[in-house]
Amino acid sequence: MTPYNLVNLSALMGMEAIALTDHNSCMNCGAAMRAGAEAGITVIPGMELCTSEEVHVVCLFEELKAAEEFSDYVLSTMPPIKNRPEIFGTQLIMDETDKVLGSQDILLTAASGISIGSVEKLVDGYGGVCYPAHIDRSSYSVISNLGMITEEMGFEVAEVSPMGNVDDLIEKHPILGRMKILTSSDAHRLDALPPANLSLHTDNNIKSIIRHLKNR
């Protein structure tokens, strides 16, 4: 997964909009957005935040600057664990042509210091929207880790993986019946990108997509 390859393969597969959500970082979002402008595809800057409870939360932003500022804040809450490239791979920072500009030495797969109870208001303060990721999965999801999703968490949206059973989830957790349910690829490799078969009924620009998810 590199910015140029991700964006251009997504365009070839017929996608009109994608979100780049690296673990605990927005450092490659600018490169992907510039590649998207060249390829004619909307790229939403984002992050898959790992909360202090080790729950994955998708965070999407209207503005790149806000995404990068949020990324800096998240990094400031991370434990000072050094990445081990021989195990986890090098955490590369690239430009829009996939030229390597540098790397991040702090391990980005660790949990941040941001709690599930504070993340929604925090992200909203940066002009973004967030929602719990792949809530049907047996690890790193709000339901698997905490056993519940509550109104106090403040989420308007939840994400289910492509194989998730939405009706079963709503039966067990009725609050989901009042929320928008999204399905995303959560692709970590180019060969995991699916065909363009999911849609949102809104204008194809970042601001409209974010505001649609926020019910505004």
Domain boundaries, the chain: 3-213
Q: What pLDDT score was predicted for residue 45?
A: 98
pTM for the predicted model, two decimal places: 0.95
* Cα(9)–Cα(6) distance, integer angstroms: 5
Please say whether the beta carbons of 18 and 35 come within 8 A. no
* Cα(187)–Cα(1) distance, integer angstroms: 9
Q: What pLDDT score was predicted for residue 160?
A: 95
* Cα(104)–Cα(1) distance, integer angstroms: 16
Q: Quick one: CA dihedral 171, 174, 176, 179, positive or negative?
A: positive
**What 3-state DSSP class applies to 195?**
coil
Please say whether the beta carbons of 16 and 109 come within 8 A. no
Residue 40, pLDDT > 80, answer yes
Residue 132: name the closest of 34, 29, 56 by CA.
56
Residues whose CB falls within 8 Å of the CB of residue 173, separated by 6 or more in sequence, listed in order: 143, 148, 149
Residue position matching structure tokens 């673990």 = 23
Calculate mean pLDDT across residues 46-57.
98
Pull the structure tokens for residue 194: 């699916």
Residue 197, pLDDT > 90, answer no
pLDDT tens per residue, range 64-107: 999 999 999 999 999 999 999 999 999 999 999 999 999 999 99
Q: What is the band of 22 on the pLDDT scale with cuts at 50, 70, 90?
A: very high
Instruction: State which amino acid sits at residue 151.
Output: E
Q: Which CATH superfamily is domain 3-213 in?
A: Metal-dependent hydrolases (3.20.20.140)
* Mean pLDDT score across all residues of the chain: 95
pLDDT tens per residue, range 137-192: 999 999 999 999 999 999 999 999 988 999 999 999 999 999 999 998 889 999 99
Q: How far is CA 159 from the centre of its chain?
A: 10
Please say whether the beta carbons of 86 and 36 come within 8 A. no
Residue 216, pLDDT > 70, answer no
Instruction: State which amino acid sits at residue 26.
Output: C
Pull the structure tokens for residue 39: 């390829």
